[in-house]
Amino acid sequence: MTDPTTTPPVDSPVPTFSDLAAEQHPTLDPTGEPTVDPTSTITTRRPEPIDAGRIELSEAPRAVLSCTDVSCYYGAFRAVNEVTMDIGVHEITALIGPSGCGKSTILRALNRMNDLIPGTRVEGTIAYHGMDIYAKDVDPIEVRRRIGMVFQKPNPFPKSIYDNVAYGPKVTGMKVSNMDDVVEQSLRDAALWDEVKDKLKQSAYGLSGGQQQRLCIARTIAVKPEVILMDEPCSALDPIATARIEDLMLELRDDYTIVIVTHNMQQAARVADRTAFFTAEAAEGNGDRTGHLVEFAETTKIFSTPSDPRTEDYISGRFG
Amino acid sequence: MSTISAGAGPSTTSRGPRPSSEPPTSLRSTRPRYGEKAAYAFLVVAAGVSILTTVGIVLSLLLPALQFFREVSVLEFLTGTSWTPRFQQKSYGVLPLITGTLWTTAIALSVSIPIGLGAAIYLSEYASTRTRKIFKPTLELLAGVPSVVYGLFAVVFVGPVVLNQWLGIEVGTFSVLAAGLVLGVMIIPTVASLSEDAMSAVPRSLREASYGLGANRMRTVLRVVFPAAISGIAAAIVLGLSRAVGETMIVAMAAGSQAKMVTNPLEGGQTMTGFIASAALGDSVQGSLDYYTLFAVGLALFVITLIINLISIRLVNRFREEY
Amino acid sequence: MATITAEPMSDARPLTAASHGERNPQSLVFLILLWLSLAFGLLVLAVLLVTTFLDGLPRMDSALFTNYASQLNPETAGARAAILGSALVIGVTALMAIPIGIAAASYLEEFASRKSRFAKYVELNVQNLAAVPAIIYGMLAAAAAVAIGLQRNTVLAGGIALALLILPVVIVSTREALRAVPQEIRQGSLALGASPMQTLQRQTLPAAIPGIATGTILALSRAMGEAAPLLLLGGLVFVQFDPNGLLSGFTTMPIQIFNWAGRSQEEFQQLAAAASIVLLVLVIAMNGVAIVIRNKFSNPR
């Protein structure tokens, strides 16, 4: 077993699709933590950060979203504690960590989807291009128009494929000269056009899971947001569909900024430019686990030379 | 940039115009959305209609009733045993009407409770899913039959044929018994439906525990399921009671319009609702005592059903909490 | 080591007797009683339908539909005014109860916060109003009509009475239909930047339409069969003209049946039965449509 700390794979060749498919996709054990089959053909146990044409990352991200001391509360329970990190523009940022460490909570705080749950509260500042999105005069609808979200379980509307994609531009009042063009372009950008171009008027429910998720991505990009949040977008999909969505993410990165929560370390290693590792720790003796941001750095660094021993333990599978 | 795209089509051609790379200047609302504010106001007003309705009911009963009580003392109203607002010798004791309501309701419950519960137990515990699917909606159809049709049935069939001919029970054109029986049939679905829901909601584990101890189905139903569902069943019965008290057409058509202290169900008698119906059809001059009498009885009816309903609501909420 | 021997139970029965637990006379009698209960309910329904049908059949002629009611000539009397009146009043009822009911249910289900006292009062009121006797709604409508200067025996007043009567039912069934729409649909819409009202109008309500339709049709079929609320509006019993507008006088099928049933001549009883057939057909048809809609659209996707 090669020692990953001495041979960082910087110049690996651009992998082909069959390489990715051949890589052992980890399965989730019942506690939801990724496990790696020790008999896989890849000899290293830790996920190898793949440099699939990675952009040269500057030391600090050019921030489109920045969190400063953000804590999220459900009533009196603090779910996430004092997160400070910047989401870089045109980057893919992954939030990884064991279950219950607040990754999804933080993600949903970024586009004010937590507002929908009564009793939630956010302290600290989340700034979008410098503007506090929780300020008093901010309209959450405007926030969500610019920061979109794709959910864990594909949730297309009970309408036709066309209407699913056209819905966003319609309700947000986008000036559209030709809706057909917008729909086609969005479906193309989501790598779904060829599969559905002949059945645009059919119900979205007739599509497979992977197609439905790409449809959800298509309708999200139809409103031309700046940031796309993805909450475990592939966890309900099979490996082939997952791989296609990961490809799609890499393509979308040119035009959007993507933040993805994932349980799958290998996925983070494959697609993310930067990775944030969260963990949950029991707070002040009452047994409730509060999430903390442990480490946030370029993916290559997280997976090869993490600074924090907790990160090291997580990514080498010592704890889930 | 990798072009991994198994079957996803050309990925870099004709990309749409890039999203504007200029940061937005503000996150304030861009459109005033007046239409939505108006729609929201409509929703709130619509919700308020219910409160207005209750207020309206109370006022429309209370104000004329107060006029009535200016001339007739509350004591006489509540304790008098003679109700003769139309005769020369007027007396305004409401007890006769209350006995009429009590008798019809009691007969109705004595029909609907055993049969409703029996049907409910059968459908919930014994019937196959298919049987249930067919017979539950059919039973609900009993609730859909208009009450005038029930009233006609009582007058034309139950009285003369069932009671007189088949059972040999002598009744006149009007009888509290005929009215009560048909009223009971009408509320069978009310009792059955809610009881069946209550029993179906009892968790399987309770039944299995009973079977595991060696009890047979009858014992399980009677000793385990039934007691567990008791608050739902109580709610069902109270709801049936409320409907029986408030029903007008059946009793107006079949029980008669003779207000007296009912002691013999084979005779006719007038209920509170029956009186209101017949008074409404009669010609009472607006503003006269006759006219206000209607509302006094209406108020009494409303108060009685309100009490019953509040009990029922509390039972239903308790039943919902348990499961 | 002591051997443990099991003492046979004194009244041990072989295991094959387990099924006897279900076969004992008590259980059988119980089961028969239960079955009889169900059968009784269905039997009475059947007898009611059959006797009404047989009684009314002789008068199921075209005169029933084309002629007006008459005090003196039961042979030629018809329910024309009542049929048209019912149709008109139910239309008015629907126009009032459906929008208000859907709006109120939407408010309670989608917009009201858990802590809102207003919402709690509304809910309590709806629950109570659902069980208020029908005749009291007549009193309310009569008083309301007088208060706004409307004549009591008008189609509009009748519509108001029936609409208020069925409003709680419409609200409750619409709320259930809204609750059945999966939360993910709303979240998907909001995440795209739609407002809550847009989400309601364009996603939630359309998705809830089958459930709303079922509840509404059942409520309207109940309104069609009600006579008590209309009795207090007065002047409905002897109507010999077609209703011609919101302010026109009118009568309805249930009122006509009530009137005819109260006459002593047998011909009038027949008429009452014939009109009952028509009313029953309409009510059963509406119930059937509602059930079909419910079954057709209740498949989870």
Chains that touch B (3 or more CB pairs under 8 A): A, C
Determine the 3-state secondary structure of A227 from DSSP. Answer: strand
Q: How many CB atoms lie under 10 A from the CB of residue B71? A: 11
Question: Strand A257-261 vs strand A77-88: parallel, antiparallel, or unpaired?
Answer: unpaired
Whether C241 maps to a domain, the answer reads yes
B36 has a chain C CB within 8 A of its CB? yes
Average pLDDT for consecutive 10-residue bins of chain B (323 residues)? 39 45 67 87 95 95 90 85 78 88 95 94 89 85 91 90 82 89 94 90 89 88 89 90 94 88 86 90 72 90 93 80 63
In this complex, the residue of C185, C193, C195 whose CB is nearest that of residue A168 is C193
Residue in B7, B16, B27 nearest the CB of A189? B16
Contact by Cβ (8 Å): B302, B289: no
State residue A128 phi and psi, 5-degree precision.
Answer: -110, 115
Residue written as tokens 């009590």?
Answer: B102
Read off the pLDDT of residues A103-160 as tens digits, 9 standing for 90 and up.
999 999 999 999 888 889 999 999 998 889 998 889 999 999 999 999 999 999 999 9
Domains identified in chain C, total number: 1
* A131 to B5: CB separation less than 8 angstroms, yes or no: no
Residue of B148, B211, B314 for testing the chain C interface, max C β-carbons within 10 Å: B148
pLDDT at A274 > cutoff 60: yes
CA distances from A228 to A65, A110, A129, A148, B38 (A): 11, 10, 15, 5, 32
Concatenate the DSSP letters of all residues of A267-309 into one string: HHHHH-SEEEEEEEEE-TTS--EEEEEEEEEEHHHHHHS-SSH
In-domain check, residue C94? yes
Nearest to B249 among C52, C197, C227 (CB): C227
pLDDT tens for A229-264 read 999 999 989 999 999 999 999 999 999 999 999 988
Q: Which residue of A has its CA nearest to C301?
A: A205
pLDDT of amino acid A31: 44
Which pLDDT tens digit goes with each residue over C197-229?
Answer: 999 999 999 999 999 999 999 999 999 999 999
pLDDT of residue B83: 83
The larger pLDDT score, comparing residue A75 to residue C185, is at C185
- Tell me which chain A residues have a C-beta less than 8 angstroms from the C-beta of B30: 139, 142, 173
Res A6: pLDDT: 42
Q: In what order do the strands lie in the sheet with A289-298?
A: A131-132, A120-128, A63-74, A77-88, A289-298, A274-282, A92-96, A257-261, A227-231, A147-150
**pLDDT, chain A, mean:** 82
Structure token digits, residue B303: 């108060």
Enclosing H/E stretch for A228: strand A227-231
The answer to whether the CB atoms of B126 and C34 lie below 8 A apart is: yes
State how far the Cα of B310 lies from the Cα of C130, in Å rounded to an integer.
12
Complete DSSP assignment for B19-55: PP-SPPS--S-SS--HHHHHHHHHHHHHHHHHHHHHH
Residue C145 to residue C22: CA distance in whole angstroms? 62
The answer to the question of residue C269 being in a domain is no
Q: Which of C35, C135, C198 sits opposite B273 (nearest CB)?
A: C135
Residue C162 lies in a domain: yes
Inter-chain residue contact C189 with A171, CB threshold 8 Å: yes
Contact B29 A141 (CB under 8 A): yes
What percent of chain A lies above the pLDDT cut of 90? 51
Which class for C209: exposed (0-12), middle (13-18), buried (19 or more C-beta within 10 A)? Answer: middle
Calpha distance A208→B265 (Å, rounded): 68
- Residue among C27, C33, C227 whose CB faces B118 most closely: C33
- Lookup: tokens for A281: 């720790």
Cα separation, B285 vs B273, in Å, equals: 20
**Residue of B125, B210, B249 to mutate, testing the C interface (most C Cβ within 10 Å of its Cβ):** B249
Contact flag C192-A205 (C-beta cutoff 8 Å)? no
Q: Hey, what are B135's tokens?
A: 């017979």
- What's the CATH architecture for B99-272+307-322? Orthogonal Bundle (1.10)
- Under the banding of pLDDT at 50, 70 and 90, the label for residue C100 is very high
Å from C90 to nearest chain A CA?
A: 32
Q: Which domains does chain A have, with CATH numbers?
A: 62-315 (3.40.50.300)
Contact A171 C184 (CB under 8 A): no
Partners of residue C198 in chain A, C-beta under 8 Å: 171
Report the DSSP pairing between strands A147-150 and A227-231. parallel
Q: How far is CA C161 from CA A255, C6, C147, in A?
A: 60, 75, 14
A153 Cβ under 8 Å from any chain C Cβ: yes
Please indicate whether, in this complex, the C-beta atoms of C184 and A153 are within 8 angstroms of each other.
Answer: yes
Sort out which chain C residues have CB atoms less than 8 A from A167's CB and list them.
189, 192, 194, 202
Contact A142 B6 (CB under 8 A): no
> Of the candidates C192, C194, C301, which has its C-beta nearest A220's C-beta?
C192
Chain A interface mutation, best of C192, C199, C202, C205, highest count of A Cβ atoms under 10 Å: C192
CB-nearest to C188 from A142, A151, A172 is: A151
**Residue C219 forms part of a structural domain:** yes
**For residue C156, what are the domain limits?**
83-250
A167 touches chain C (CB under 8 A): yes
For the purposes of burial, counting CB atoms within 10 Å of the CB of C25, is it exposed (0-12), middle (13-18) or buried (19 or more)?
A: exposed
Distance from CA of B74 to the nearest CA of C (A): 21
Does residue C5 lie within any of the structural domains? no
State which residue of chain C sits closest to A165, comparing Cα positions: C192
Q: With a cut of 0.85, is the ipTM above it?
A: yes
Answer yes or no: is pLDDT of C134 > 80.
yes
Question: Dihedral of the CA atoms C169, C172, C173, C176 (nearest 10)?
Answer: -170
| Nearest residue of A to residue C186, measured between CA atoms | A157
Contacts of A257 in chain B (CB under 8 A): none
Residue C67 falls inside a structural domain: no
Provide the pLDDT for residue B279: 87
Domain ranges of chain B: 99-272+307-322
- Numbered residues of chain B with Cβ closer than 8 Å to any chain A Cβ: 1-2, 4-9, 11-12, 14-16, 18-20, 23-24, 26-31
Nearest to A14 among B2, B6, B14 (CB): B2
Angstrom distance (rounded) from CA A169 to CA B14: 20
DSSP, residue by residue, C49-117: HHHHHHHHGGG-SHHHHHSPP-SS-TTT---HHHHHHHHHHHHHHHHHHHHHHHHHHHIIIII--TT-H
Identify which of B11, B19, B24 has the shortest CB distance to residue A129. B24
| A3 CB burial (10 A radius; 0-12, 13-18, 19+) | exposed
pLDDT per position as a tens digit, A278-310:
988 876 666 678 888 988 988 888 888 888 888
- Closest residue, chain A, to C201 (C-alpha): A171
* Pairwise CB contact (< 8 Å): C192 & A118: no
The DSSP annotation for A50-66 comes to P-TT-----SS--EEEE
Note whether B11 contacts A193, CB cutoff 8 Å. Answer: no
* Chain C residues with beta carbon closer than 8 angstroms to that of A220: 191-192
- CA separation for the pair C14, C95 (Å, rounded): 69
Which residue in C52, C111, C228 is closest to B249 by CB distance?
C228
Q: Sort out which chain C residues have CB atoms less than 8 A from B301's CB and list them.
A: 133, 135-136
User: Which of B16, B19, B27 has the CB atom closest to A143's CB atom?
Assistant: B27
**C273 touching chain B per CB within 8 A:** yes
Residue B139 and residue C42: Cβ atoms within 8 Å?
A: yes
Look at phi and psi of residue A225 and say left if phi exceeds 0, alpha if psi is from -120 to 50, else beta.
Answer: beta
Which of A172, A205, A216 is nearest residue C301 as measured by Cβ atoms? A205
Contact B298 C136 (CB under 8 A): yes
Residue tagged 């072989």 (tokens): C14
**Secondary structure, 3-state, A230-265:** EECCCCCCCHHHHHHHHHHHHHHCCCCEEEEECCCH
Q: Do B281 and C38 touch (CB under 8 A)?
A: no
Q: Is the pLDDT of residue C141 over 90?
A: yes
* Closest residue in C to A207 (Cα–Cα): C301
Best B53, B125, B147, B185 member to test C by mutation, with max C CBs in 10 Å, is: B53
**Rounded to whole angstroms, how far apart are CA atoms A52 and A300?**
12
Helix axes C205-224, C155-179, angle to 10 degrees: 140
A partners (3+ CB pairs within 8 A) are B, C
Residue C262 per-residue DSSP state? T
Instruction: Tally helices (H) and strands (E) across chain B.
Output: 13, 0
Within-domain flag for C221: yes
Q: The CATH number of the domain where C237 resides is what?
A: 1.10.3720.10
A181 or B82: which carries more pLDDT confidence? A181
Which of B121-135, B273-287, C47-61, C176-190 ranks highest by mean pLDDT? C176-190
Half-sphere exposure of A12 (CA within 13 A, CB side): 15
> How many of the other CB atoms lie within 10 Å of CB of A278?
25
Residue B49 structure tokens: 């209609």
Least confident range from B100-114, C92-106, C225-239: namely: C225-239
Rounded alpha-carbon distances, angstroms, from residue C283 to A48, C216, C217: 70, 13, 10
Which residue in B248, B294, B295 has the most chain C C-beta atoms within 10 A of its own C-beta, making it the best mutation to test that interface?
B248
Q: Report the alpha-carbon distance of residue B162 to residue B154 in Å, rounded.
A: 9
Give me the pLDDT at residue B12, please: 38
Q: Report how far residue C257's alpha carbon sits from residue C226's, in angstroms, rounded to the nearest whole number.
A: 11
Q: Cβ–Cβ of B218/C30 closer than 8 Å? A: yes
Alpha carbon distance C261, A47 (integer Å): 86
